[in-house]
């Protein structure tokens, strides 16, 4: 008898954003006249910057000539891109990395899910709550969690660290020691950030408690304030306790192109069953060389172009475009008396639902009455109940239209 991985059966049947898509499709079918504006999934709307398109074209041409054709590339990524990353994303911020500590991938989501391959099923996992569902779901798939509480919201074998307006969305250190801690800053979904000293507390905690931090920095490009760290490695000794995930999806509009990278420092060591310390970089390299044949050459050339002076300027324009949306949305929502968070150094706005409406009730009303799609906070975890996420990644005109609909809405 063939057996499936039973862990999958513990999960809700579909992923949060697939669920929302189904609801929206059903609404469209029954309201074909409605002009729906999506401020739901954090997908970008600006086209790829011209300098990146040029790089893509010339890489495509290279593939058509015998002298410049490329077959399999290095599984870890081409050095031309690794070097640019080390130089621009880290050295420029005072962080020294070797190129073989940077692994190019097809996006942060894959690596965040795949990292579980090199971690024992016995590890105790902690997440901030609300949380990007991929962290939790992939741990259930991997057998590190799987017992659901009666409320249908908590996995009892995961430590949830609440982040709400009560603690200003700054997570407290956990009462119980986790082995693995997921942190995402700027945060998805709340759009909030941590100051250097706040992140330092987590690094110190991990050093003292022999925990591993999985740090998702997919939204770092949206940071404007000087005192907010872009990388966890800006904190002293973080290389001994943290893996960092980066993505070009939001930074440069690569949600469709697919490229990101993961930093696994060589000084990061964790224990095997016998207590012997093992170099995580070597394990991840073993995993990648076995299961991954690298990101396509043309996409890596596209990513390289982001780091050219012109590329930096062009992607910055898109980031500012989205942040203008964020400011507009924030002003409008504040003016109608809603309480909201985030949106200053992140493309997400976290809204407290008014009149104690549940997240899903607010979702339904916003869709039915304004034809606007957002993401219910409860979809990100129990502490998300009573909140709602809006993204600034929409087209400017749609954001303005959404604002006008919300302003005229009888809530
Ligand atoms: C989100 O909306 O949270 C993101 O788009 C999901 C993702 O990046 O995978």
Cβ–ligand 1 contact at 258 (below 6 Å): no
Cβ–ligand 1 contact at 109 (below 6 Å): yes
Q: Report which protein residue has its CA nearest ligand 1's atom 7.
A: 42
Q: What is the pLDDT of residue 17?
A: 87
Cβ–ligand 1 contact at 84 (below 6 Å): no
Percentage of the residues of the chain whose pLDDT score is greater than 90: 95
User: pTM for this one?
Assistant: 0.96
Helical H segments across 4-49, by residue range: 7-10, 16-30
**373 Cβ partners below 8 Å, 6+ apart?**
20, 24, 36, 37, 38, 39, 40, 363, 366, 367
Compute the distance between CA of residue 29 and CA of residue 354 in angstroms, rounded to an integer.
29
Compute the distance between CA of residue 374 and CA of residue 377 in angstroms, rounded to an integer.
9
Q: What is the pLDDT of residue 330?
A: 97
Q: Report which protein residue has its CA nearest ligand 1's atom 1.
A: 42
Compute the distance between CA of residue 351 and CA of residue 392 in angstroms, rounded to an integer.
13
Q: What token pair was written down for 128?
A: 């901030």
94 φψ region: left (φ > 0), alpha (ψ -120 to 50), beta (else): left
Which ligand 1 atom lies nearest to the CA of residue 218?
8
Whole-angstrom CA distances from 194 to 198, 258, 387 are 6, 27, 20
Cα of 134 from ligand 1 centre, angstroms: 9
pLDDT digits (tens, 9 = 90+) for 85-134: 999 999 999 999 999 999 999 999 999 999 999 999 999 999 999 999 99
pLDDT digits (tens, 9 = 90+) for 332-379: 999 999 999 999 999 999 999 999 999 999 999 999 999 999 999 999
Q: What token pair was written down for 58?
A: 């010339």
Q: Report which protein residue has its CA nearest ligand 1's atom 6.
A: 42
Compute the distance between CA of residue 270 and CA of residue 279 in angstroms, rounded to an integer.
7
> Which regions in the chain score pLDDT beneath 50?
none
Q: What is the pLDDT of residue 60?
A: 98
Compute the distance between CA of residue 17 and CA of residue 36 in angstroms, rounded to an integer.
16
Compute the distance between CA of residue 230 and CA of residue 218 in angstroms, rounded to an integer.
10
Cα of 2 from ligand 1 centre, angstroms: 34
Cβ–ligand 1 contact at 187 (below 6 Å): no
**What are the φ/ψ torsions at residue 390 (nearest 5 degrees)?**
-120, 145
Largest CA distance in the chain: 66
Which ligand 1 atom lies nearest to the CA of residue 134?
9
Mutate to test the pocket of ligand 1, among 41, 347, 349 (most ligand atoms within 8 A of CB): 41
Q: What is the pLDDT of residue 94?
A: 97
Compute the distance between CA of residue 19 and CA of residue 14 in angstroms, rounded to an integer.
6
Q: What is the pLDDT of residue 410?
A: 85
């Amino acid at each position: 008898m063939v057996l499936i991985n039973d862990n999958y059966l513990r999960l809700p049947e579909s992923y949060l954003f697939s669920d929302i898509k189904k609801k929206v499709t059903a609404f469209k079918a029954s309201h074909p006249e409605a002009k729906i504006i999506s401020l739901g999934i954090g997908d970008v709307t600006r086209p790829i910057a011209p300098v990146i398109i040029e790089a893509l074209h010339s890489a495509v041409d290279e593939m058509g000539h015998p002298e410049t054709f490329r077959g399999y590339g290095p599984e870890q990524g081409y050095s031309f891109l690794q070097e640019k990353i080390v130089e621009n994303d880290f050295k420029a911020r005072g962080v020294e990395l070797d190129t073989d500590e940077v692994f190019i991938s097809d996006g942060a989501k894959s690596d965040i899910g795949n990292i579980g391959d090199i971690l024992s099923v016995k590890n105790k996992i902690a997440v901030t709550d609300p949380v990007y569902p991929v962290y939790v779901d992939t741990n259930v798939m991997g057998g590190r969690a799987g017992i659901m509480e009666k409320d249908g919201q908590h996995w009892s074998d995961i430590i949830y660290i609440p982040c709400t307006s009560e603690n200003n969305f700054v997570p407290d250190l956990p009462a119980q020691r986790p082995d693995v801690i997921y942190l995402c800053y700027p945060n998805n979904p709340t759009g909030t950030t941590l100051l250097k000293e706040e992140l330092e507390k987590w690094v110190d905690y991990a050093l003292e408690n022999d925990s591993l931090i999985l740090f998702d920095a997919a939204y770092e490009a949206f940071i404007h304030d000087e005192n907010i760290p872009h990388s966890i490695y800006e904190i002293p000794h973080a290389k001994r306790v943290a893996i960092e995930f980066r993505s070009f999806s939001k930074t440069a509009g690569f949600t469709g192109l697919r490229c990101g990278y993961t930093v696994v420092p060589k000084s990061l060591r964790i224990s095997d069953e016998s207590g012997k310390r093992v170099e995580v970089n070597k394990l991840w390299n073993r995993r990648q060389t076995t299961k991954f044949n690298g990101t396509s050459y043309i996409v890596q050339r596209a990513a390289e172009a982001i780091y050219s002076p012109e590329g930096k300027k062009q992607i910055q324009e898109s980031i500012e475009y989205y942040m203008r949306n964020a400011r507009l949305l924030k002003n409008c929502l504040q003016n109608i008396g809603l309480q909201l968070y985030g949106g200053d150094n992140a493309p997400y706005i976290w809204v407290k639902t008014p009149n104690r409406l549940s997240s899903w009730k607010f979702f339904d009303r916003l869709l039915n009455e304004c034809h606007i799609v957002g993401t219910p906070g409860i979809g990100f975890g129990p502490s998300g109940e009573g909140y709602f996420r809006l993204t600034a990644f929409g087209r400017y005109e749609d954001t303005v239209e959404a604002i006008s609909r919300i302003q005229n809405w009888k809530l």
